[in-house]
């Protein structure tokens, strides 16, 4: 008991808690919580949406975004166009896909792929990095980006 009391009176200590890429749950964040994309997506006006059940629960924790079928189809089209060696057409398809969701990391990755296929290494790298910055919840896309960046590096050398 004495030890417990003494230790509590000690100065604040450095901690060795491992850092997390994810924000802590149930703690308000700077800027406040943003409702989950799936819940809030279609409510932009005041008073029309349901109240968030738990305002402390962070929505910033990476979650995969719901992908409308139209976007899935566009991604498939672009992948087919890339397979058929039509990178410019694929890029154009993917630009349209950004109208549907500008934050889907797979779309940005495929744009990087299209540019790499065209030999535009600088844009390929930029686009892959952009994809990476959005891919916290997409380990598979991160892996693809890493591979693409290695390829780009190889070609640049």
Partner 1 sequence: MAFFAYAYMINHQVAQRFKDRLWDVPAKVYARPMTLYPGLQLSVKSLEQELDLLGYRRVETHVQLTVPGTYTRYQGRFVLSCRSFDFGEQRRPVRRVELTISGDLIDQLKSGERIADMEQLDPVLIGQFYPSSMEDRILVDTEDIPTLLKKTIIAVEDKNFYSHYGIDFKSIFRAIVVNIRQGRLTQGASTLTQQLAKNFFLSPDKTLKRKFSEAFVAAAIERQFTKEEILEAYINEVYLGQDGSRGIYGFGLGAQFYFGKSLELLSPKETALLVGMLKGPSVYNPRVHPDRAIARRNTVLGLMADQELISSAELTKSLGSSLSVIPVPRQWRFPFYLDFVKRRLLEEYREKDLKTMGLRIFTPLDPLVQLAAEKGVADFMAVRDSKLEAGVVVTAAATNEIQALVGGKQPKYQGFNRALDANRPIGSLVKPVVYLSALERPENYTLVTRINDGPVALKSGGHLWKPMNFDKKFHGELPLFQALVHSYNTSTVRLGMDLGLETVFATMAQLGFKPNPPLVPAMLLGSFEMTPVQVAQVYHTLASGGFYTPARVINAVYTPEGETLQRYSLNIEQHLDPGAVFLVAKTLQAVVREGTGRSLSIWLSPDLGIAGKTGTTNDLRDTWFAGFSGNRLAVVWVGRDDNQSTGLTGASGALQVFGRIMVQIPNTPLVLTPPENIEWAVIDPQTGLRTDSNAPGALAVPFIQGSAPVLFNPLPNPGTQVIPKTPAYPRPGQQPVQKKKPRYLIDWLKDVF
Residues that contact partner 1, how many (by CB under 8 A): 74
The residue (of 41 and 84) whose beta carbon lies closer to partner 1 is 41
Least Cβ distance, residue 151 to partner 1 (angstroms): 18
First to last CA, the chain: 65
Based on the shown chain and the rule CB under 8 A, indicate whether residue 103 belongs to the binding site for partner 1.
Answer: yes
Burial class (CB within 10 angstroms; exposed 0-12, middle 13-18, buried 19+) of 131? buried
Nearest 5°: the CA angle 32, 37, 41 is: 110
The residue (of 44 and 157) whose beta carbon lies closer to partner 1 is 44
Whether 112 and 77 have beta carbons less than 8 Å apart is answered as no
Based on the shown chain and the rule CB under 8 A, indicate whether residue 139 belongs to the binding site for partner 1.
Answer: no
Chosen residue from 78, 81, 132, 152 binding partner 1 by CB under 8 A? 132
Whether 25 and 59 have beta carbons less than 8 Å apart is answered as no
Whether 109 and 128 have beta carbons less than 8 Å apart is answered as yes
Based on the shown chain and the rule CB under 8 A, indicate whether residue 35 belongs to the binding site for partner 1.
Answer: yes
How many CB atoms are closer than 10 A to CB 144? 21
Least Cβ distance, residue 59 to partner 1 (angstroms): 6
The residue (of 43 and 155) whose beta carbon lies closer to partner 1 is 43
Residues between 37 and 76 that touch partner 1 (CB under 8 A): 37, 40-49, 52, 58-60, 62, 68-74
The residue (of 11 and 154) whose beta carbon lies closer to partner 1 is 11
Based on the shown chain and the rule CB under 8 A, indicate whether residue 30 belongs to the binding site for partner 1.
Answer: yes
Name the phi and psi angles at 20, rounded to 5: -115, 140
């Amino acid at each position: 008991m004495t030890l417990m009391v003494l230790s509590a009176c000690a100065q604040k200590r450095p901690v060795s808690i491992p850092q997390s890429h994810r924000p802590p749950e149930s703690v308000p964040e700077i800027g406040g919580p943003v409702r989950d994309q799936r819940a809030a997506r279609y409510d932009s006006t005041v008073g029309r949406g349901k109240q968030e059940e738990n305002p402390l629960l962070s929505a910033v924790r990476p979650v995969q975004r719901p992908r409308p079928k139209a976007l899935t189809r566009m991604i498939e089209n672009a992948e087919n166009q890339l397979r058929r060696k039509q990178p410019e057409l694929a890029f154009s398809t993917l630009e349209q896909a950004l109208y549907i969701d500008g934050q889907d990391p797979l779309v940005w990755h495929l744009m990087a792929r299209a540019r790499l296929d065209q030999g535009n290494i600088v844009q390929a790298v930029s686009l892959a990095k952009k994809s990476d910055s959005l891919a916290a919840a997409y380990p598979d896309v991160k892996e693809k980006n890493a591979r693409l960046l290695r390829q780009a590096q190889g070609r640049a050398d």
